Amino acid sequence: MRGARRWVRLALDAVLPPLCPSCGAMVGEPGALCPDCWGQITFLSAPCCDACGHPFEIDAGPGSLCGLCARAAPPWARARAVFRYDDASKPLVLRFKHADRLEGAPTFARWLARSGADLIMDADLIVPVPLHRLRLLSRRYNQAAVLANELGRLTGKPVAPDLLVRTRATPAQGHLGRDERAANVKGAFAVRPSWRHRLTGKRVLLVDDVLTTGATVGECARILVTTGAHGVDVLTLGRVVLPHA
């Protein structure tokens, strides 16, 4: 049923005026934001924490770290995000993630390519954070894989959408704290056996929709490095900006 609704939506999109992927207002081309939504999105750029990408108000110089990363280095090398995940950007992400609004994916890929240019240049493989098979059956697509595939087409970098697997279903993390999120995803990911020998020595760019505490991408990065990856960088559409830095 959901697949049929998706095809109906795609057919309607082909004949009806394109709509803003955030608010649904009419726009000039598919995937474009309307002026109001564009003006409310807080796009992120330097200066930021070199490790987690948390924005800084003052440029502290190359290689500067936020308080959390200075105390405990994350499992990845660098993380970057396109925009701040807040009340203004949340509808954009949720429509893409849950409402089959995939027409914005090419635009999102261009934003990712700009925000993560240095990470992409160093990457050997682009890998999406996987969904558990039961959630994939329910949702019918993995939004991280859609982003990774679009980014690969745009940049020419190889994409490995099946490299990581989610070995167990985990409860939604929306209302969990930092430690609870980490415990929730502990041991929930693995490298597919057919990829293990091909992963050795590779620099991986891990792609997801939103970085909150970093628990999910951190567990993925840990598994990738443990299995032989040379290093892992993280690139997301949104990130939660906390006052800790």
d(Cα 8, Cα 141) in Å, to the nearest integer?
16
Q: How far, in whole angstroms, is CA 21 from its chain's centroid?
A: 17
pLDDT for 71: 93
Enter the pTM of the model.
Answer: 0.88
Span 26-37, pLDDT tens digits: 888 877 889 999
Residues paired with residue 166 on neighbouring β-strands, in sequence order:
189
**Percent of the residues in the chain that have a pLDDT greater than 90, as a whole number:** 62
159 contact partners, CB below 8 Å, separation of at least 6:
125, 126, 127, 128, 148, 149, 151, 152
Give the pLDDT band (50/70/90) at residue 245: very low
pLDDT for 220: 96
* CA angle centred on 41, ends 121 and 138, rounded to 5°: 75
